[in-house]
C-alpha cells in the first residue's frame, strides 16, 4: 500500500528515482534524491598553504557531510577566472561558489572591507563575535543581496604582519613615496600618508617585489609569506599588522543556487563554512611561529616593529579614511555604526581578559616562572 501511495502521489518516475527506498516519505525522497555539482572559484593559488588548502578542506567537508549529494570542486586563481573576478563570476552564476576575502570587492561595495578587516579594528575572535552574535552576518547578507550572493565566514588568518620592505622603515619619511601592494582600507590609509598603493593578487607578489615594480608588500603572516619566498626579494619584515588585525575569509554562494538547495544541504554548507573558519585559526596559530623561526634563522630576515611615529600617522589617517567612506556611502555608514558600537563594547572585555592575561604571561615568562 505504501508503495502505491507514493506512486499515486508523485508519479512512477519520482518513485523510481528515490534511491531504492520506495517506503520513505515522498517529500524527503524527492529532495534527497537530487544531487548537485558545484564549482568553487577562489582568489588563491591552487592548494596554496593555509588559504588554498582551506578552500579544498571546505569543498571536501561539504562533499563528505552531504554524503556526496553536494559535490564541490575547487578551482585555483586563474583556472576558470582570474583571482580578482571571483565575485563577478559567482554573482552572475558562472560558478556556484567562491572563496576569497570581501575587501577585494571594495570597488563594487565600499562597505565590503568591514567583513574582512579594517585598520585598528577587530581581532579574529572579536570579529567572529560581531559576525555571529553582534549582527555582522545579517549586515553582510544585506550588503551582498543586490549582487545575488549569499556570504559566509569561512576562515580567518589571525593577526597578520605589517609587510615586507626592501629598505628599512625608520621614520614616516621612509614610507612616503614607496610603492606598496596593500589591499582594502589599509591601502586607502597608506595612500593617505603618501604611499602609492596597488592591489595585485598573491601569485604575482614575488615577481613584482623582486623586479622592483613595488618596494613593499603585505601578504599574510610568516606561514604564508614563507611559502611565497618573499624573503628572497626583501629582508625587512615589519609588525604589527595594524591594517589586518583578524581578517575574515569568505565563502560566497550564488543566491539562485543557494535557494535551490534543500534545507539540510543549506545546513551542511553553513556548518562546514564555520568549521573551516575555526580550523584555519588553529592552523595559523600552530604554524606561524615555526615559519617565523625559519625566516629569521635560515634566511636572515630582520623582523622589526614599525616606529611609533608611523603607527600614530596610520591611526590618524584611518580616522580620516573611515569618515570619508562612511560619509559617501549609506551602507558603509550603517555597517560601521554596528561595527564601531561592538568594538567599543568588546574592547573593554578584551582589555581585562585577553590583553591583561597576555601581559601577565609575558611578565611571568620574563621572570622564568
Task: Tell me how far apart the alpha carbons of residues 137 and 160 are, in angstroms, rounded to a whole number.
Answer: 22
Q: Which of residues 236-275 bind Ca ion (CB under 5 A)?
A: 244
Q: Which is nearer to Ca ion, 129 or 187 (CB)?
A: 187
Q: Smaller CB distance to Ca ion: residue 134 or 201?
A: 201
Dihedral sign for Cα 145, 111, 338, 163, please.
positive
Q: What is the SS3 string spanning 12-59?
A: HHHHHCCCCCCCCCHHHHHHHHCCEEEEEEECCCCCCCCCHHHHHHHH
Residue 253 — left, alpha, or beta (φ > 0 → left; ψ -120 to 50 → alpha)? beta
Cβ closer to Ca ion: 72 or 117? 117
> Which is closer to Ca ion, CB of 42 or CB of 160?
160
Binding mask 1-40 for Ca ion (x = CB under 5 A): ----------------------------------------
Q: Which is nearer to Ca ion, 160 or 326 (CB)?
A: 160
Burial of 297 (0-12, 13-18, 19+ CB in 10 A): exposed
Cα separation, 38 vs 296, whole angstroms: 42
CB of 195 to Ca ion, least distance (A): 15
- Do 228 and 205 form a contact (C-beta atoms < 8 A)? yes
**Least CB distance from residue 192 to Ca ion, whole Å?**
18
Is 191 in contact with 214 (CB distance < 8 Å)?
no
Question: Which set of grid coordinates corresponds to residue 185?
Answer: 582600507
Minimum CB distance to Ca ion smaller for 192 or for 244: 244
What is the grid cell recorded at 331? 551602507
Give, as ranges, the residues between 128 and 167 that touch Ca ion (CB under 5 A): 160
Question: How near is the Cβ of 151 to Ca ion at its closest, in Å?
Answer: 19
- Determine whether 22 is exposed, middle or buried from the number of CB atoms within 10 Å of its CB (0-12, 13-18, 19+): middle
Q: What track of x and - describes contact with Ca ion for positions 305 through 344 (by CB under 5 A)?
A: ----------------------------------------
Q: How far is the CB of 77 from Ca ion (least distance, A)?
A: 15
Which residues fall within 8 angstroms of residue 72, CB to CB, at 6 or more apart? 38, 39, 40, 58, 59, 60, 62, 63, 97
Minimum distance from residue 240 beta carbon to Ca ion (Å): 12
Question: What is residue 79's DSSP assignment?
Answer: T
> In this complex, which beta carbon is closest to Ca ion, that of residue 160 or of residue 248?
160
Question: Which whole-number Å values give the CA distances from 317 to 34, 198, 324, in the listed order?
Answer: 53, 18, 11
Considering the complex, what minimum distance in angstroms separates the CB of residue 164 from Ca ion?
A: 11
Number of residues lying near Ca ion (CB under 5 A): 3
Spatial separation of the C-alpha atoms in residues 81 and 100, rounded to whole Å:
13
- Provide, rounded to whole angstroms, the least separation between the CB of residue 244 and Ca ion: 5
Calculate the alpha carbon distances from 48 to 76, 181, 201 in Å: 9, 19, 13
Output 38 or 231, the one with its CB closest to Ca ion: 231
Least distance in angstroms from the C-beta of 221 to Ca ion = 8
Shortest spacing between CB 306 and Ca ion, in angstroms: 15
Please give the residues from 186 up to 225 whose contact with Ca ion meets the rule CB under 5 A: 218
Rank residues 96 and 250 by Cβ distance to Ca ion and give the closer one.
250
Strands 149-156 and 163-165: unpaired
Q: Which residue ranges make up the site for Ca ion (CB under 5 A)?
A: 160, 218, 244
Amino acid at each position: 500500500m505504501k508503495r502505491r501511495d507514493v506512486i499515486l502521489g508523485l508519479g512512477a518516475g519520482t518513485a523510481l528515482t528515490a534511491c531504492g527506498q520506495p517506503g520513505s516519505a515522498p517529500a524527503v525522497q524527492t529532495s534527497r534524491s537530487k544531487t548537485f555539482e558545484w564549482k568553487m572559484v577562489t582568489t588563491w593559488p591552487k592548494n596554496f598553504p593555509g588559504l588554498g588548502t582551506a578552500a579544498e578542506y571546505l569543498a571536501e567537508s561539504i562533499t563528505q557531510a552531504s554524503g556526496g549529494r553536494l559535490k564541490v570542486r575547487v578551482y585555483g586563481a586563474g583556472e576558470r577566472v582570474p583571482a580578482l573576478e571571483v565575485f563577478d563570476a559567482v554573482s552572475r552564476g558562472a560558478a556556484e561558489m567562491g572563496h576569497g576575502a570581501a575587501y577585494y570587492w571594495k570597488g563594487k561595495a565600499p562597505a565590503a572591507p568591514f567583513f574582512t578587516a579594517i585598520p585598528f579594528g577587530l581581532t579574529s575572535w572579536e570579529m567572529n563575535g560581531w559576525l555571529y552574535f553582534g549582527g555582522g552576518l545579517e549586515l553582510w547578507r544585506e550588503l551582498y543581496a543586490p549582487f545575488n550572493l549569499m556570504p559566509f565566514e569561512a576562515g580567518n588568518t589571525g593577526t597578520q604582519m605589517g609587510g615586507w620592505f626592501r629598505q628599512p622603515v625608520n621614520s614616516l619619511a621612509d614610507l612616503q613615496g614607496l610603492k606598496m601592494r596593500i589591499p582594502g582600507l589599509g591601502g586607502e590609509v597608506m595612500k593617505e600618508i603618501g604611499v602609492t598603493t596597488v592591489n595585485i593578487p598573491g601569485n604575482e607578489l614575488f615577481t613584482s617585489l623582486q623586479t622592483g615594480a613595488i618596494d613593499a608588500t603585505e601578504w599574510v603572516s610568516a606561514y604564508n609569506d614563507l611559502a611565497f619566498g618573499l624573503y628572497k626579494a626583501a629582508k625587512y619584515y615589519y609588525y604589527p599588522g595594524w591594517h589586518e588585525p583578524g581578517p575574515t575569509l569568505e565563502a560566497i554562494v550564488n543566491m539562485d543556487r543557494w535557494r535551490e538547495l534543500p534545507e539540510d544541504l543549506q545546513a551542511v554548507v553553513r556548518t562546514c563554512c564555520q568549521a573551516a573558519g575555526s580550523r584555519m585559526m588553529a592552523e595559523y596559530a600552530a604554524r606561524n611561529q615555526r615559519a617565523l623561526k625559519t625566516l629569521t634563522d635560515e634566511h636572515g630576515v630582520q623582523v622589526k616593529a614599525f616606529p611609533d611615529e608611523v603607527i600614530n600617522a596610520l591611526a590618524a589617517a584611518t580616522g580620516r579614511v573611515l569618515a570619508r567612506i562612511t560619509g559617501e556611502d549609506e551602507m558603509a555608514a550603517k555597517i560601521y555604526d554596528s561595527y564601531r558600537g561592538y568594538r567599543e563594547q568588546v574592547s573593554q572585555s578584551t582589555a581585562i581578559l585577553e590583553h591583561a592575561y597576555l601581559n601577565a604571561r609575558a611578565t611571568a615568562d620574563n621572570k622564568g616562572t
